[in-house]
Amino acid sequence: MCGRFVSASPPDEIARYFDADETALPQLEPSYNVAPTNDVYAVTVDGGIRRVDAFHWGLVPIWAKDPKVGSKMINARSEGIATKNAYRAAIKRRRCIIPADGFYEWQKVEGSKRKQPHYIHRPDGEPLAFAGLWEVWRGPDKDNPIDPLRSCTIITTAANATMEPLHDRMPVILPPSAWDEWLDPTNDDLDTLGKLLVPAPADLITTHPVSTEVNMVRNKGPELIVAVDPDAPDTEGQLEI
């Protein structure tokens, strides 16, 4: 799964990396601890042009009665995604890429209730391109729509060899060669799209343990990704969701 990630790169750098339009970019605060329901950047295609927009993290389906349901839809499992009620419309025409500098996962510590957080990122420091879906929610009353809420979810798949010691799931990380195919809203070939939802090569990512300060969502600074000795004393906090 992916429950926390890092989004610290400026939006203009994100736009250039993903070859997106650099005009009218949203401005979100850099965060080394993005949590569910936070606003995040996402790359979409509109009128044949790639754009960087801001979305609520936690997909709210158009049929939802309350936007709070989105807090349970921060991730979408790739297996069977095309038939699940919450995602089957979005997978056909509302796909996006969610840029991340890295993400976190928690590893169980043998013989202890404690979990050790790890930071997962590319060795070369380049961004990760998470496969995602997006929706626009206008409220349950069609006669009295509210201001639209744009939301997104990160698609997950089975872990690769690097991730397996930490967790059995990981985000789908799309290579640049797949970006056009994934983002094209006219492409509704679910068979070919499904072939993109696979684990990334094991050598694409590396991991290291970090402080349990990342457990607390109020902590947002760059010190959270600094490698630590997992056996050294650490201020341990309960993981906040």
Residues annotated as part of the active site: 2, 105
| Residue pointed to by tokens 């926390």 | 4
Helix (H, G, I), strand (E, B) or coil at 220: coil
Please tell me the total number of residues recorded for the chain in this structure.
241
What's CA 223's distance to the chain center, in Å?
A: 21
* φ/ψ (deg, to 5) at 70: -60, -25
Q: Which residues pair with 96 in a beta bridge?
A: 132
Q: What is the DSSP string of 156-178?
A: EEE--TTTTTT-SEEE-B--HHH
Apex CA 234: angle with CA 228 and CA 238, to 5°? Answer: 110
Query: Is residue 68 a contact partner of residue 55, using CB atoms and an 8 Å limit?
Result: no
Apex CA 228: angle with CA 224 and CA 231, to 5°? Answer: 130
